[in-house]
Amino acid sequence: MSERFPEIDWYCDRCNAYLNDQPGFDDHHYVWKCTECGHKNSISADDIYESEEDFRNYNE
């Protein structure tokens, strides 16, 4: 099955772990539980940012 978001790198919103390499990761899941810290991350187009700075400044 092809990726829903090709060439997008996903990182945990809590611990910043790289999600794409976690066992079983599939961007067709709408929520992914980080295997490092257990945080439930949303996997959707609304969660794609141009940079980490854009992500960090999103709520300001």
* Burial class for 19, CB neighbours closer than 10 Å (0-12, 13-18, 19+): buried
- pLDDT beyond 60 at 60: no
Q: Which domains occur in the chain, in start order?
A: 1-60 (2.30.30)
User: What was the pLDDT predicted at 1?
Assistant: 63
pTM exceeds cut of 0.85: no
Mapped onto helix, strand or coil, the DSSP state of residue 21 is coil
Share of the chain above pLDDT 90, in %: 70
Quick: pLDDT tens for 13-34: 999 999 999 999 999 999 999 9
